[in-house]
Amino acid sequence: AAAAIAGAAEAAQKQQDQKRVLVIHSTRRDSLISEAADRVLTQHLASAFGPRLDYYAEFIDPTRFPDADYERFSAYIRDRYPQLKPDLVVAVEDAAFGFVARYRETLFAGTPVVFFTRDADASRLPNSTG
């Protein structure tokens, strides 16, 4: 019984140590920018967190989610990750940044954001860097 309790406590501690990162790309999965960004991000995050990293990547594919206000994509994220509380959200390029800016409070309130955008006039979100 003691071994089972110790194992459960260790598993709970490991789960708490996991870092959950949600990356949202503005393009399709097979675009060059998405592939390059995923490669670089996973290398850097894996070197920092190793096996404690849970990496989730989603793509605002204009064919699948054509609405300009991203309502369908928001519903997709909500349905796909109902229990996910990411430790970090990364928005890659303008559409992803717009999505995060619009739905951050309803999908991942309080979560830090790192963003990459080509829009020099983009306003920085609270608790973000870009």
For residues 48 and 84, is the Cβ–Cβ distance under 8 A?
Answer: no
Give CA–CA dist 32/19, Å, rounded.
26
CA distance 34 to 107: 22
Q: Read out DSSP for 93-123?
A: SHHHHHHHHHHHHHHSTT--EEEE-S-TTPP
Give CA–CA dist 87/92, Å, rounded: 17
- In this prediction, residue 15 carries a pLDDT of 52
- Helices 94-107/71-80 angle, 10° precision: 60
What pLDDT is recorded for position 8? Answer: 39
Q: How far apart, in whole angstroms, are the C-alpha atoms of residue 51 and residue 26? A: 27
pLDDT at res. 17: 83
d(CA 103, CA 77): 10
Mean pLDDT of the chain: 85
Q: Where are the alpha helices (DSSP H) in the chain?
A: 2-17, 32-49, 71-80, 94-107
8 Å CB contact between 21 and 56? yes
- Condensed to tens digits (0 to 9), the pLDDT of residues 41-99 reads 999 999 998 899 999 999 998 777 777 788 989 999 999 999 999 999 999 999 999 99
